[in-house]
Chain A
Amino acid sequence: MKFTWFNLMPWPYLPDDFRRQHRSVWVDIPSSLYDPVKGHALYNTYLDELEYAETLGFDGIGVNEHHANGYGLMPSPNIMAATLARRTSDAALVVLGNSIALYNPPIRVAEEFAMLDVISGGRLVAGFPVGTSMDTNYCYGQIPALTREKYQEAHDLILRCWAEDEPFAFNGRYTQLRYANCWPKPIQKNPPIFIPGGGSLETYDFCLDYDYVYCYLSFSGYKRAKQLMDGYWQRVAERGKDLSPYRAGFAQTIVVAESDAEAEREYRSHIDYFYNRCLHVYPGFADAPGYRTIKTLKANVTTQMTRQALGDVSAMSWKQLVDDGYVIAGSPDTVVEKMHELITSLRVGNIFCLIHVGDMPQEKCNRSTKLFAEEVMPRLRNVWPEYADDDRFWIHPLTAPARPARAANGVGA
């Protein structure tokens, strides 16, 4: 199993009445709610937490990209990954990812990912999300019905940039480059590529065409993910591909304490903050018309768009969140049991562990992280012994990388 410690980097100072005062945590949330001085301390805390996770033996540390978002303070995940590249030495840098249709020209992604891979000695996991409608369409103005075509073209350009040894002309519909020429090149000839997906057949096939890792990044937990992941594995089988669990990843909110009761006592308010405050997104931003294919839309149309639904500010309870699997919470034994169920029922080799949750303070986050690393992770390492040697979907770093000079003084340890 590969465990990546992931930090969404939420803003922890949203007011108590946020949901009543503001229609959305994303897109049109007023930036007056952001305080850059508090933000200074926060970024450093969040980066410390990521670095701490590496010291405990997590396989990867993860960052992602959001825009105008009160629960995701990383418009540029590459800046975060760059700081981590210098302050860590072993963990994969899981950038999940760059919304490649948003970069103009998208060769920028080929270049920056190559830089990260080179600085880190070959530790980059490159994520290529289409991006949410909130980020891609509403915040970054991409035309919904053309987003996927633009994404595909950006993908083709980036891969070719990494593969070609000579400058080439790229005559795309969205990008034209007379001299496409990627300096530097990544250390990993083919960095592992992770694709966040939400259940569309097209994305299953895209991952299988290129042997990319299909990642379901949901906040609604493993029980609700079963049907979607079953659909993925069915497609893998139909395509005659091997069923390596490392073809798939899943994000799960996890909190660990000495006992189940302590988990509730310690983490309940932070879980509540995340699920009932941070995820307050105006449904009109969730799915710009044309963003999803009609086929996908028919399968998962939302009905949260009535006047009644909009007025509903009822909160999800701890019990509901835990019972329904949104959150895996409890003692190490409880968490091992539920994680085992998650891993085997979804058949995943990659877990993106969302252990920092909402407005959780650093000491609680570190305690939960440490318990997971020491009491949970070792007991889940070998769920897939028959695939122990499958290294196709993970990083291949240099065996003797350069070390930053200050690391010798203990910084980053």
Chain B
Amino acid sequence: MQNEQKSSIADKPVSIIYSWLGDRIFLTVVVALGLSIILLAGAMAWVLTDEAGMALDEFGIIGFLKGTTWDPGVQFRFGALPFIVGTLVTSVFALAIAFYPAVAVAIFIAEYAPRWLGSIIENLVHLIAAVPSVVIGIWGIFVFAPWMRETFYMPIFLWAADHQPALLPILGSPIGYGMTTATIILALMIIPFTTALTRDAIRQVPKEQREAAWALGATKWEVIRMAVIPYSRGGIMAGAILSFGRAIGETMAVAMLIGNKNNFPFSIMGPAATMPSVIVNEFREAVGNLHLSSLMAIGLVLFVISLIVNLIAAYVTRKLSITGGQSI
């Protein structure tokens, strides 16, 4: 074998088919495969728009987005507003809850923890980020939601019933499955993700930046405050935006915990619904074409919102060239 190869290189000039045509074919195949990813993204936009057409024709784009009634049973009227609001409210509050603790853990890993502890926690964070959504969901259904009901919702509800009956409609029914429960679980689920991205951003801070602050006589916290955080601010921002995108699309755990009730307006403790949760819950059982098409239209809205969030994150990431969440 060795001999043959040697002689073939020495005797024959490399055939033009082997080199020129081979390169051509290889490049064509590779570009075709790459193109198919671009096509896939295009197909997603096109298919969702196409399938949503019926519902959007029936109610109009603005009408669909503004509609507050979702009634697949009697009136056959579909409006997306409750789900859009449900998604945005849960995601915004989840990010608000998750952001500071996640950044704190990242700073702790990067700056304070001894190296061995830091790497253990970092691996742990990546591991937790990989836990399937349904597994968190089953814990939420059987442990967390009942616990929240007994510890917080019932006492608050009973107190309000005695002293402030006006609050009751705002608080909602204390069944345990609802907006607040889902938001807290959502926050827990995006913390590892935000932490990992923040950690990536802090890793980009050059050593000189810190040393300069040390040289001015700063304390450890002042180094972080004056040198590390300002330098990685953009990366942390991009991480927060990506985490927000994660929260928007998080489906199973939220569907299991939010109670899935689309009566608008929502209450604090009471059941609600989000865009992914309504798709998961109703798509399998949807019979009417209009109902299916309306669910696809919800998917389209979700697609557009995710697209905007991801493109903003891509823009911020490119401006600051941190790794775009690829470590997870």
Partners in one complex: no
| Contacts from B to A (Cβ < 8 Å) | none
